Chain A
Amino acid sequence: MAVLAVSRLRKSYGGEEVVAGVSFSIAAGECFGLLGPNGAGKTTTLRLCLGLIEPDGGSIELMQRPVPGEARPARLRVGVVPQMDNLDPDFTVGENLLVYGRYFKIPERSIRERIPQLLEFAGLAARAASRIQTLSGGMKRRLTLARALINDPDVIFMDEPTTGLDPQARHLIWERLRQLLAQGKTIVLTTHFMEEAERLCARLAIMDRGRFITEGSPRDLIAQHIEPHVVEVHGDEVMSWADGEASILATRIERSGDTAFCYAVDPAPLLASLSRRTLRYLHRPADLEDVFLKLTGRELRD
């Protein structure tokens, strides 16, 4: 059963189509990732799905309810972790959860019973009385996650849940998200960390300039779009090597600055060629980032 079904969704700002006809569907219990460079339309897509902004065209069904028409009741069963922390700075950690629970009309007693469990889950058990200003970035993000769970939602929307966090904090968030998936929750997340998408998402879509350019499991996307081996080569004479010998040995070469990314099904001839030279190189299996860069290009997006 689809938790979220989106069809031909469109949204323009000032004549520019930010979401340009996107269709997808997410089943219950799935973790779906929306990948894309900055400005690809990920956040706008999420906001449209939650009914926070009005679409210009297309249809959205969230929890079997049309959005934005019935977005408000649909959100009763939804939790949201936004990209920018919007915790209430005037309140303590515990008060943030209490006040947020009231927005869902949850009985006061149930909220108060639930707060210690949620703080435990977020690793903030000792922090119930702390002021928000005293929390680290990772703690704030965990509290935002706990707040999103106050209504025991069926589906959780997360907009770049680990951006700006250190590795420890990031791994803790990932672990918690896996726990939520194990409980049967549905997760929709946007990210530009390929590692995050590869670890968490059973299925993902790569979005660019308002469109989905591909969709599938991380493994399928790698198999479908990219050669299995990558040899990254850098050094002064890398380009003459890349234009000459390597161009025959590699299936495909991408150049960026003074680095050549050589993609190949069989890396042995490339490695043999490199062993006769002084170029520095790194041989690794292709990953989602290679797919991402191939499909969205290497130029900067600001």
Chain B
Amino acid sequence: MRVYALPSLSLRFAPVWRRNLLVWRKLAGASVLGNLADPLIYVLGLGYGLGSMLPQVGGVPYIAFLAAGMVCSSTMNSATFEAMYSAFSRMHVQHTWEAIMMAPLDLDDVVLAELVWAASKSALSGATILAVVWILGLSHSFLSLWVLALVPLVGLAFGALALVTTALARSYDFFTYYFTLVITPMTLLCGVFFPLEKLPPAFQVAAELLPLTHAVALSRPLLLGEVPGNIAVHVLVLLAYAAAGFYAASVLFRRRLLK
């Protein structure tokens, strides 16, 4: 049955991606500010405030430790917001998807465009945090440039997972569950605010299964000037979440919209 077919990966998604870019450009100022404000307050508030009471964490000042995690968590948040609230608006409220599918484009093209768009926008968000990290002098290594390659992958993984939620959502309220049950625990358990090793062993095992853990396991060494260990494993886990999430979302959107 067509519902379970693999998503067709076609460049047809490009004009839909451009549509979202054109909307974003109209609001870019506010959008970039919003992307920056939230993580900056965390990095500065917790980094300096809490950091002043702490000895070094993981061998570096707490603010540097935290900033290296925030690059990933703010990328995650940005991709999640875009693929849930904004995509849901376009699908369900504005009927933008319906208009696009009356043109010679398929649902698969639209879903791919949403995923790539969420990844693009969140990568920009992650890159902005990276720029702040440099400006604040929290990273001195050229290795940190690899973060620019990492954040799109993080965006793909979390964008895909958020699209699954969007495909199941009946209203905006539904997204609260996803934040409470998935995003918040992940933010707290995956080594953004403190080292994973400080958690009880059972939690550590659970955290190993979550994508954010693997994103942070790459971003932190890179920002602190070290080559991460087990790069292939971390990248593969993120790719697997992106692929599985994208496939599940494609099937669920087809069931929802092509019936």
- Interface set of A (CB-CB < 8 Å, partner B): 13, 50, 52-54, 72-73, 75-76, 80, 82, 84, 86-91, 95, 99-100, 102-105, 151
Complex: A104 Cα to B99 Cα, angstroms: 12
Q: Given that A53-B259, A54-B259 are known contacts, is A95 also in contact with B15, CB under 8 Å in the complex? A: no
Interface set, chain B 98-137, CB cutoff 8 A to A: 98-106
* Tally of B interface residues using CB under 8 Å: 22
What are 28 A-B interface contacts by the 8 Å CB criterion?
A: A52-B98, A52-B101, A52-B258, A54-B2, A54-B258, A72-B105, A72-B106, A75-B102, A75-B103, A75-B104, A80-B102, A82-B98, A82-B99, A82-B102, A84-B95, A86-B95, A88-B96, A88-B99, A89-B94, A90-B23, A90-B26, A91-B22, A100-B103, A103-B15, A103-B16, A103-B100, A103-B104, A105-B104
Check A53/B258 contact, CB under 8 A, given A75-B103, A82-B102, A103-B104. yes
* Chain B, interface SS category: helix
Cα distance A234–B235 when bound, in Å?
80
Please, how many angstroms separate the alpha-carbon atoms of A13 and B258 in the complex?
A: 12
Interface residue? B19 (CB, 8 A): yes
Q: Which of A53, A82, A86, A99 is close to B15, meaning CB atoms less than 8 Å apart?
A: A99
B200 to chain A, nearest CB (A): 47
Is B104 within 8 A of A76, CB to CB? yes
Residues of B within 8 A of A151 (CB): 103
Q: Which of B168-208 contact A (CB under 8 A)?
A: none
The one of A54, A73, A88, A90 in contact with B104, judged by C-beta atoms closer than 8 angstroms, is: A73
| B100 nearest CB neighbor, chain A only | A103
A112 nearest CB across to chain B (Å): 14
Complex interface: chain A residues within 8 A of B140 (CB): none
Cα–Cα, bound, A105→B18 (Å): 12
Knowing A54-B259, A72-B105, the reply to whether A95 touches B22 (Cβ < 8 A) is: yes
Complex Cα–Cα for A117 and B106 (A): 28
User: B4 → chain A, closest Cβ, in Å?
Assistant: 13
- What 0/1 pattern do residues 239 to 259 of B give for CB contact below 8 A with A? 000000000000000000011
Q: Which residue of A lies closest to B95 (CB)?
A: A86
- Complex CA gap A87/B19 in Å reads 13
Chain B hits for A53, CB < 8 A: 258-259
Q: A72-B104, A82-B102 are in contact. Are A99 and B95 (CB under 8 A)?
A: no
Most buried by A among B15, B103, B105: B103
Closest to B3 in A: A54
Instruction: Tell me the minimal C-beta distance from A118 to chain B in angstroms.
Output: 15
Known: A80-B102, A86-B98. 14 other contacts (CB 8 A): A50-B102, A72-B104, A82-B99, A86-B94, A86-B99, A87-B99, A88-B19, A88-B99, A90-B26, A91-B23, A99-B19, A102-B18, A102-B19, A104-B104
In the assembled complex, the CB of B28 is this many whole angstroms from the nearest CB of chain A, namely 13
Residues of B within 8 A of A103 (CB): 15-16, 100, 103-105
Measured in the bound complex, the distance between the Cα atoms of B12 and A104 in whole Å is 9
How many angstroms between the C-alpha atoms of A90 and B24 in the bound complex?
9
Q: Which residues of chain B come closer than 8 Å to A84, judged between CB atoms? A: 95
